Amino acid sequence: MSDLKPARTRMAPSPTGRFHLGSARTALFDYLLAKKTGGQFVLRIEDTDRKRFVPGSEEEIIASLKWLGIEPDEGPGYGGPYGPYRQTERRQAYADHARILVDKGAAFPCFCTPERLAAVRQEQQKRKETPRYDGTCRSLSPQEAASRIADGEKYVIRFKMPYEGVTVARDLLRGEIATENRHLDDTVLLKSDGLPTYHLAAMLDDHLMDITHVLRGSEWLPTFPLHVQVVRAFGWDEPVWVHLSVFLKPSGKGKMSKREAAQAMTDGYSIFVKDMEGLGYTPEGVLNWIALMGWGVAEDDVMNLDEMVERFDVEKLTPSPAAINFNKLDHFNGTHIRRLPVDELARRIKPFFVDAGYEVDNDTLLKITPLIQERLVTLDDCIAFGGFFFQETVTPDPQDLVAKGLTAAQSAEAARRSLDILSGVDSLAHDIAEPPLRALVEEMGLNAGQVFGILRAAVTGQRVSPPLFESMEVIGKEKVIERLEGAIGALENLDDTPPKG
């Protein structure tokens, strides 16, 4: 870290849609940098585009950050000394500052109608030129501009980009980026509705809020020189600029799109943080996963939030685009599930059992959790691995009751002898029940997989389950015997076909 002075970082989403992975990663890095240096992470809502406003998206942003465990120190609903934190509640400041730039000669009022601008743009494109403002209002005298404003004519305020010269901007990860001013435009700073565009609003607020490090997506790189010029025109200190790469779709060809988002859903994944919880992902898993896309960690890459804060270094972020890889999300999720204390895991999987319609008693829940813990990739896998524990009865597929290499009659015989043994044993504690059954396997000249497979299907109703003896212990002697009797009955009803291959 180049400096350990407390950093003030900000995440500035616009409430125009759903909160996705890319935003979450920016927020994470903002959070890590702030916590690492003992600074603050602020949330600012950039809601100056009223046309694209989507009700509920601010709530989704806040809920997502909360679920991830990277809550802002300041922001809407959190308060703080730099409020308000919604840009529509700060409109006067933008208008005032746009005026300041005009007075300084760094910006000018523009009365061109959207229709005229569109026509100009079309004409330029026809001539294969880069679309840009043609400068019509740039040379208006202050008097004329003032009188047209007084007449009530609609206008915007544009930045007066120098026609000559080069703007050199410095990005922490990429170094100096030089752009010739002639390629830049007289960009609109204040719209005719009196609200600012991003180019003014973000620069002003970052300054007013004492933001020290701006972490944002690389889609801002083309307007980076403009932003630097705006800041310099005001005479403010620049923050440290860090442009993060974008997330590419799994194929690596192109960035995540609507289509790709839909595809992820059909594959059981989502690029929206809010969906992650319902899909059985843990905040730890998601955080670890997104952290490693764009942050180069050489080894020991399994980290929780605290460990990330400990090891974070903003200079170690990588500038190249990263393709999303859901395999890795599954891996990290499983890894973090295994790291969870049993009672914590139990608390987290309980809602999935409840939602599936099971009546969950905490005693049983706590007993089965360690049995399924290392088998879960997502939390909702608990149903597949442990649902039968909460069922009164199970109904195995009769075919699953027939062991490989045995006929139905032979399988029934093995089940009967197992039943005799289990009936006679004092307890189904696994260390008590297992030895005599192993002896039976030996005696019948079979192998463990055959006999235990029959019992597994009979007792759990499935061919895949947690370890058999531990499972039987939880289910209890009474139910085990009951289920075994049912299985024997089912086997006896089976036509005796040749041994299962």
Report if residue 92 touches RNA, rule: CB under 7 A: no
Report if residue 298 touches RNA, rule: CB under 7 A: yes
Report if residue 191 touches RNA, rule: CB under 7 A: yes
Task: Pick the closer one to RNA by CB: 280 or 294.
Answer: 294
**Three-state secondary-structure class, residue 161:** coil
Report if residue 165 touches RNA, rule: CB under 7 A: no
Beta strands in 47-90 (DSSP E): none
Compose the 315-354 pattern: x for residues touching RNA by CB under 7 A, - for all others.
-x-xxxxxx-x-xx-xx--xx--x----------------
User: How near is the Cβ of 495 to RNA at its closest, in Å?
Assistant: 25
Among 179, 229, 333, 369, binds RNA (CB under 7 A): 179
Q: Which two tokens stand for residue 27?
A: 């927020």
Q: Which two tokens stand for residue 98?
A: 């746009």
Report if residue 299 touches RNA, rule: CB under 7 A: yes
Is 274 one of the catalytic residues?
Answer: no
Task: Pick the closer one to RNA by CB: 361 or 397.
Answer: 397
Task: Pick the closer one to RNA by CB: 49 or 362.
Answer: 49
> Alpha-carbon distance 212 to 7, whole Å?
6
Which one of 28-36, 71-79, 173-181, 409-417 is the stretch in contact with RNA (CB under 7 A)?
173-181
Q: Which is it for strands 107-110 and 156-159: parallel, antiparallel or unpaired?
A: antiparallel
Q: Which two tokens stand for residue 198?
A: 């991003």
Q: Which residues pair with 110 in a beta bridge?
A: 156
Site for RNA, residues 389 to 428, rule: CB under 7 A: none
Report if residue 483 touches RNA, rule: CB under 7 A: no
Question: Tell me, what amino acid is at 314?
Answer: V
Please pick, among 258, 274, 477, 479, the residue that the annotation labels catalytic: 258
Among 294, 386, 396, 461, binds RNA (CB under 7 A): 294
> Alpha-carbon distance 288 to 334, whole Å?
12
> Alpha-carbon distance 80 to 77, whole Å?
9
Among 66, 104, 170, 183, binds RNA (CB under 7 A): 183
> Alpha-carbon distance 316 to 58, whole Å?
30
User: How near is the Cβ of 142 to RNA at its closest, in Å?
Assistant: 20
> Alpha-carbon distance 229 to 450, whole Å?
76
The DSSP code sequence of 251-310 is TSSSB--HHHHHHHHHTT--SBHHHHTTTT--HHHHHHHHHTSSB---S-----HHHHHH
Report if residue 268 touches RNA, rule: CB under 7 A: no
Report if residue 104 touches RNA, rule: CB under 7 A: no
Task: Pick the closer one to RNA by CB: 196 or 283.
Answer: 196
Q: What are phi and psi of 140, to 5 degrees?
A: -60, 140
Among 93, 95, 112, 233, binds RNA (CB under 7 A): 112
Catalytic residue set: 258
